A and B are shown apart, each in its own frame.
Chain A
């Protein structure tokens, strides 16, 4: 490498080289016009626009900052052929260069026409022009609101037409600039005010002009305001050949402001004529109806029955009487048969009921019987057991039974008192000893104190 460098060659650092290139490019391309097709369009945060401009063979990066793109009336979009005015700027840090666009315009057609077309297409897609959203315009509005310039000829034209059609109309005018940068906002505000004040219909009116003159009526903001306006709205902008976005969004388009005057209220003379005509037709219909009925009545009245009603009566009287008798006879027979049937059924019904009741009682009694018998049986069984226990007990305690088991009872010779202790008797005293089979009369000849060991009851 060293071989190819002569002493005179300058060696740049990368930074130095990029700086030199930047100076050179920004000097030579400080004001350029470049034309091409938009691609890779990127609208960052709706602030700065980044895209490529390209032709068949080459492309260049473009940036359009917010301060410059906010004034664009049309939308830059993919594939659009545009002409850009700007300068070249080099981004030294990355060694990249790009066009900084200051302004842009479409190639082939005017910016406003393109903007108009773009907005119209966008709103149409959103359904802003759909017929279903169009409100009916009242034919006799009590209050007519107009948003227009009071200084212009347009309002005078409208009033002229209105006076001709309906002398006692009530007009509420809201003065607005119909041209200029604030115009669109003013018209939006006027629509709000007229709605708030309360009118039955609103007319937006403006005389003819260029597309630029009419531009206030082509903004998205006004389109949205009209679309959401609760009051029916007529758009009357420019001449017959002028079309604005507000014409498409409004409930009705009037070709000119004068036409709006005709559309907004019925002609009083015509209305009165129409009412009179309807009255006439009603009266005529009633009269002809009466005439027809009169004729029919006359025709009927002339019939024989009305002239000699007696003859006709006689003719029908006899068969009618016969028929009547027959009818009564039949009816009576039918009633008799029905009555019989009813009494039979009633008897049957009574019997059935009694049997049923008897059966129920029987079953109840049977049930009670069974329960009673088992209760008595239980009671008897219980009593038998108790009795046996009592008897056993009794047997046990019977003194006779004790004697039976080999014991004896000792009484004093006289009296019934039994002797329980040797202290109760003295030596030589007579005693009676009762045994199982008889009595021993005895005499005490000795007493020995000794505790009976088996006995527990023995005192002493």
Chain B
């Protein structure tokens, strides 16, 4: 079977590599300036063929290259895992300034956690690349989704992902409820560590708590 991405596979990889190296250079600059990295780790992937086809079917869309690249916006996916919540927002701020990229949508599931407890920051970008796109534009424009979260949120999401594929669990409701509680406890730790880091660093802290 021909690739769902048609002839655009290399262009997608180019977009992914470009965004990854932009993030890596932010990290380098941040490390030089502050003596510590902006994020813990970074990973990128092109959504695999079968998941893309499944997503198109689920959305009732045609299984075509055009739909895969225009109607679905996470063919290119990048995940940034930070240690502190402030680092997530700092990375988001830097991403907004990447040249040749337009922010299409931002979803802050950290401040607005999903009902099940999921927390992450999602940004959908439209990135320019010198290759043509399915609409014949050169430079072409391709979507990419960047997900940012803390290590705690990442660990939680891995567990929740596992649960999603376990439909036969008898005590599903209980597991879901406890998972939600864990998400809230992890969030509590993330926020407390953020507070402590600010107190440790702040010159006038811990006195500086007006209108917290």
The answer to whether A and B belong to the same complex is no
Q: Residues on A close to B: CB < 8 A? A: none
